[in-house]
Structure 1
Amino acid sequence: MKKVVVIGAGAAGMIAAATAADRGLDVVLLEKQHRVGRKLLITGKGRCNITNACDIEELIENVPTNGKFLYSAFYTFTNDDVIDMFNNLGVSTRVERGKRVFPESDKARDVVDALERHIKNKKVKLELNAEVNKIVATNDKVEKVILKNRKEIKCDSVIIATGGVSYPLTGSTGDGYKFAKSLGHTIIDTKPSLIGIEVQEGFVKDLEKLALRNVSITVLNSKNKKVYDDFGEMEFTKYGLDGPIIKSASCRMKDTTKENYKIVVDLKPALDEEKLDKRVQKDFQKYTNKRFENALNDLLPKKLIPIIIELSSIPKDTVVHQISREQRRSLVSLLKNFTFTVKRYRPIEEAIVTSGGIKVNEINASTMESKLVQGLFFAGEVIDVDAYTGGFNLQIAFSTGYLAGINC
């Protein structure tokens, strides 16, 4: 019987192992942690956004790094297949804003438990606390896997599903890159993706934990050219900006040491400058005899008011009816162009996913098999593909895991 070793019991590894075992293969799933799916448990803030219910072409559009490489994977094991699989495993799902798909229970634990049941039902041999030292290939063909405890497992195929280097406490410590490199593969430099951003403006620490809904952002490069825009939720941290639209923006930004980015926040995207000016005039009429610092409560969150006042250069004790038209128009422009200067990404250890990894040109997109070593397959985040927030990265894991599992 053909023997397959899968390294890494995360989303991609468990799907790969169950799929291979379903074909009647002898499958061993190795996990260096003491339990499976540790990173899955923290995805979606513990709710686990398992996929996105958009069409396949839209899935691909939401993968800015090498999205076209995933055509075969996405069409072979679709987002509908993922939803059906979890429903059949006893996990009911629901679709939320942005077509995000979550378990009805809102518990990532239910997703992990379902996948663990799945591999057990398919008779996968799971070995925990089993850290791999290296993969041995002879004449460009996989021969065996050697563990850190010197145990050797002879096999016909190996699927590397070890994740990237984000959230290392969950076991993602870049092992897969080391294995692939030792077998001749090229590793594209890794960087954080879906990550918070540090900014130069010191006042952000005064806005810590303030969340803004229904705002829009535009990311500009050093040539003032737009590289990304988005609408939705963001939040301030003591170091800068975070939240869904900021994390997605980080996917489109390159090396922050070589490019000077600015993030322009439109606090009132539903109103153009003219309509917003009329709205401000209406508020100013309402508070005409109040001080400026007491005239913005209907317009802005309380925490944000002192910052906007300072940036507007209008003295806070100015009586509202004394504010000039030019000052008012300048305030309106500030509300539409609340600008931040990017300093750097937060550390890669905090990133939701890793950008970079095993070069896709060296992988057969139809099978996930290495073009360099027979019997060597890859699945999930270890490959140089990454997507925006919204369930797309887990769909990558499930689809590539399945494709590797049916071809190994």
Structure 2
Amino acid sequence: MMKKLNIFTLGMALVAGLSSCEMADEMRGNGSSTETGSLELSVAVAQTESRADTGSSISTDNFDVVITNTENAENTYTYTYSELPKPLTLPTGTYTVSASTEGDIQTQMSAPYYEGTETLTITNGVTSQVEVVCKMANTKIDMGYSDDFKSMFQSWTINIDDGDSHVITFSNENVNDTIVYWHLGDNVTTMTMNIEATTTDGTKITDQKQFTKADADQSYGDDSDNFTGGDALVINIDIDENEPSEDNRPQIGFIINVDITFSDTNETVEIPVEDVPTEPEEPGDNNIEISDNGTGYLTNGVTVVGTDYPTDVAVVMTVPNGIKNVYVKIASTNSTFEGMVADMGLVNGDGMDLASDDAQSLSELFPLPEANATSYKFTMTSTLFTLLGNFSGKHDFTLTVIDANNNSKSATLTINN
């Protein structure tokens, strides 16, 4: 009986010893230190007086908090802020503390996303008090329509392109959803607005406008020339109705006003809006013409929703000297799709010459031109639209036609889905 008791006692002591070692290792962070200190962490949201998105009413209870040892990333502690122990005991060392809105930031969101980071040192036996102040990481876009605009047009689509493969869309179908929080790409200095609107009598009006942050009436402090997280843009669109034309139709354009509130100030200023400059005509006897058959797709791109494929997509080329080559080159924000078309010869160099024998395998995707023909219409088959439907993103089809005299002209058709 005594022997059994001793074995049992020894076993319990061993378990206790192992548990105590595991706890010590956990506190040390994989054996990095046996000394500990404490952290009193507070998380706040930066406030800007002129914003609708001030931090005064923002609760940080559900913010994600990540505490990482700078010398050993395996020593990482993750909490929801409301569940974070106060104080929190940590092994001594240097740490990076990140706090953010719950979840990951998305390109487009219906609410602002806040994040902030601080570095701290935990000292043996000392309680460190640190505050992480989170700032808005996305840019607020607020689109406004005048009453005249809404009464003039039965439908519209406004695509705003940041030039870094990101596009947001406002349309009559979401007329009441005028605010988007946009996580912009890096180094975005200029935004382009592609506008397509149809009047109540069926007339289609298209236009392109752009605005550049550096052109703002004033700048403040260290504000960057790039659009950054925390900037707030208010965009208002109105109609510009000029004198009637010869067929008595009014000449309709658009008036765009853009105001920006800078990320680190409480000042709001205006950014001038300009027409997108047109490309100069090719010199010499280059009389090649490329059009979108009046649809506006070459200006505004094509937006595909689900399986609702447009049937009027066409890039029409008139080549009086006769076609020598027609190259198509594809660039896509979807890396899987771009890798697939790269294997088809549609990515590198000038892309694929549709007038060559090598292009025969592409005939199911779009019609092919005939050498020496004086015209060609590039259209997209349902097979191609179905294929694109499997790869969401922005897909640019750049078409370059070369005539018998080696004159050339290019156009880019953008498909968004």
Question: What TM-score range do you get, normalising by the shorter chain?
Answer: under 0.3
Question: Structure 1 or 2: larger helix share?
Answer: 1
Query: Higher strand proportion, which one?
Result: 2
* TM-score, normalised with respect to structure 1: 0.26
Q: Which has the higher contact order (CA 8 A, sep 6+)?
A: 1
Q: What is the TM-score with the length of structure 2 in the denominator?
A: 0.25
Larger Rg: 2
